[in-house]
Every structure is written in structure tokens, then in C-alpha cells.
Amino acid sequence: MALRPARLVALLPARVRALLPARSAVNGRRLRLALTLLPLLLLAVWAAVDWRTVHGGAVRLASADPWWLLAGAVFTALCSVASACIRQGAVPERLPPGQLLAVQFAAGAAGHALPGNIGAHAVVLRFLRRRDIPLARATSSLALYSAVKPVAKTLVIVVFVIAFPGTLRLTELLPKGETLALAGAITGVSLAALVTLITTVRPLRRPLIGGLRTALSDTRLVHSRPVRAVSLWGGAAAFPLCQGAVLASVGSSLGLPVSWTQMLFVYLVASTAAGAVPAPGGLGPMDAALVFTLVAFGAPATLATTTVIGYRVLTVWLPLLPGTFVLSALVRAKVL
């Protein structure tokens, strides 16, 4: 059973409890107001730190084809729909579609503030808890969401490799032997550390095993319902394709000499390679991987950089402001 906030406070030392403000209606309103203004504050900080990227991208995209940019904006919106389908497919209970889509749109804005998509998961977890879904099951749905997306993306990459063997320049994209060895060593050390932590630290063993059992039980239950399974895997396969379509739309608006098939594959490969680096929203490593892969497919470096900036404007900056306002509205409406 999940601990309530009052129980958590009771576990704190007396000196720490004395520093906490007393529970009252006024303090509750102040807390909701702070949570409402926090996303706007994060947005202002983000804009101040990365203002050059936004301004440079807007200037370079001024000469782009507006219809292709509009298509990219539509594909950006479809990314939230695909993510909402995955979220619904990860829980047996039926969630209200309108609220789920709004929460996922707001979670997209929160996900760009913290690495590893932690912000988005926190927003969705709060929404599931408000829907009276137990904490263990809500957490297991987040784990299933995170596990299904890379598996589905890998399957999509395999389909591309089989369907378009002559179009994709695989030999130029494969990493060198040293890089593969380093990645394998890092993966092995990480797994060994995780296993050692679970087996040696007893307080972690019981909740982890319990969470694993809940996750396996919910996974079997979800896959026993065809509608949930289709929503889960269909959304997971559609999400990277929608993201890749945003990149391809921006490239087409700038006249990038790379086919749509190649640009979709560029996103799939680059996002997979950059996913190992826990940067907020994949910023930094993802951008570098996209530019490198586009250049490998024959795109000029300057045009490839402009394409990636346009992709970031559409997927990060364009939905960030409305997503932040939606997040604040959901907090005020007590949906979160």
C-alpha cells in the first residue's frame, strides 16, 4: 500500500516536521499556485538559456516551404496521440481519452525539462494516481511504456532494413569495433552493478521483486485484451515514425537532397544511438547524431544542421508554451 503524504511526514524527525508549514486551506492554495507557476518558470529559464538556438532556427527557417512546415506541425501533434495510445495500452483500466491526451501533451512539455523523460513520467504517474490506480500498478505501467518503445522501434528498424536494403547506407552508419566494444563494456558493467545492488541491498530486494511481479501480472493482463495490445504496440511503432516524419517534413521544406525513406531511417538510427545519453529531451546528443547521420546520407552539413534546428523548433519549442499552459490548467483543475 502506498504511503500517504501525512504518513510520510509522520516518518520525518521531529525537528524536520517543525520546519514544515502547517496543513491548512491557505497553504494548500499556495502549493497549487506554486505548482501552477513552476512550469512557466521552467519555460522562462529554458528560453533564457537556449535563446540563440530558437532565434537562429527561426531565422534560417524563414525561407522554408510553409506547407511542409505545417505538415511537420501536424506530425508533431500526432506524436502526442501516439504516446497517449501507448499510455492507454499500458493499463487495463479505461482512461478518459480527452484528459489522457491533454495529460500526454502536458507531459511532453515536462519531459523536456528533466533527463530520461522523468518529468513526463511524473506527470502521467500523478494522473494515474488521481484515477485511483494503485501506485504499484501505475509504476508498472510506466515501466511497460518505457520498455515497449525501444522494442517497437527496433522492430521498425528491422522492417526498414528488410524492405529497403538498397536505399539505406548501412555500412556508413555502423560503428567501429572500438565503439561497439566500449558500448558493450558499459552495458555489462551497468547490468552487473544493478544485479549486485539488488542482491546485496536487502531493503531494495523486496519492493523490486514485488514491483516486478506486479509488472508481469499487468503485462499479461494487458496482452490478454486485443484492444489494449493494439493500442500499446501500435502507438509504440507509430511514435518514432511520426517523429521521423517531422524531420522529413522539415528537410523537404528546405530542399534537403535525402529521400523520405532515408530521413525516417535517419531518425530511427540517430534516436536509438542518442537514447543512451540521459540528456533532457535528448537535446545535444540527439542533435549531433541527427546531423552526423544526415551528412552520412549525402546532405550538406549546413543544410543538415538547419534541418535539425527546424526539427527542434517544431518538436520542442512550438509545443512547449501551449504544453506548459495545459500543464498548469490541469494542475488547477486537479486532474493532476
| pLDDT at residue number 250 | 94
Helix (H) / strand (E) containing 229: helix 226-253
**Which residues lie closer than 8 Å to 75 by C-beta, 6 or more apart?**
242, 243, 245, 246, 249
Name the residue with higher pLDDT: 180 or 207: 207
**Residue spans of beta strands (DSSP E) within 146-249:** none
| pLDDT at residue number 243 | 95
Instruction: Assign 289 a pLDDT band (cuts: 50, 70, 90).
Output: confident
Q: CA-CA distance, 170 to 69, in Å (whole number)?
A: 29
| pLDDT at residue number 84 | 94
| pLDDT at residue number 102 | 93
C-beta separation of 65 from 297 below 8 A: no
Whether the CA torsion 76, 109, 89, 131 is positive or negative: it is negative
Cell matching residue 103: 495529460
**Which residues lie closer than 8 Å to 306 by C-beta, 6 or more apart?**
57, 60, 61, 254
| pLDDT at residue number 146 | 86
Q: Which of 37-51, 73-87, 261-275 has the lowest mean pLDDT?
A: 37-51
C-beta separation of 233 from 149 below 8 A: no
Q: Kindly list the distances between the CA atom of residue 189 and the CA atoms of 44, 184, 192, in Å, as whole numbers in the listed order.
A: 39, 9, 5
C-beta separation of 284 from 309 below 8 A: no
| pLDDT at residue number 152 | 93
pTM over 0.85: no
- Please state the rounded mean pLDDT for residues 96-119: 82
C-beta separation of 92 from 101 below 8 A: no
| pLDDT at residue number 99 | 92
The 10s digit of each residue's pLDDT in 132-172 is 888 888 888 888 898 899 899 999 998 988 888 776 665 55
Residue 149 three-state SS? helix
Percent of the chain clearing pLDDT 70 (strictly above): 64
Q: Which of 87-96, 132-141, 195-204, 219-228 has the lowest mean pLDDT?
A: 195-204
Judged on CB neighbours under 10 Å (0-12, 13-18, 19+), 53 is middle
Q: Cα angle vertex 236, ends 319, 227, to 5°?
A: 115
**Termini Cα distance of the chain:** 20
The CB density around residue 216, as the number of other CB atoms within 10 Å, is 12
C-beta separation of 112 from 125 below 8 A: no
- Please state the rounded mean pLDDT for residues 53-79: 81
Give the torsion through C-alpha atoms of 281, 287, 292, 296, to 10 deg: 80
| pLDDT at residue number 229 | 92
Q: Which of 23-27, 57-61, 76-80, 329-333 has the lowest mean pLDDT?
A: 23-27
pLDDT at 251 over 80: yes
- Please state the rounded mean pLDDT for residues 292-321: 85
- Most confidently modeled range among 32-36, 235-239, 300-304: 235-239
Backbone angles phi, psi at 89, to 5 degrees: -70, -15
What is the DSSP code string of 258-325? S-HHHHHHHHHHHHHHHTTS--BTTTTHHHHHHHHHHHHTT--HHHHHHHHHHHHIIIIIHHHHHHHH
Q: CA-CA distance, 3 to 132, in Å (whole number)?
A: 14
Q: CA-CA distance, 215 to 209, in Å (whole number)?
A: 10
The CB density around residue 121, as the number of other CB atoms within 10 Å, is 20
Helix (H) / strand (E) containing 133: none
| pLDDT at residue number 174 | 54
Q: Kindly list the distances between the CA atom of residue 67 and the CA atoms of 60, 64, 72, 76, in Å, as whole numbers in the listed order.
A: 16, 9, 9, 14
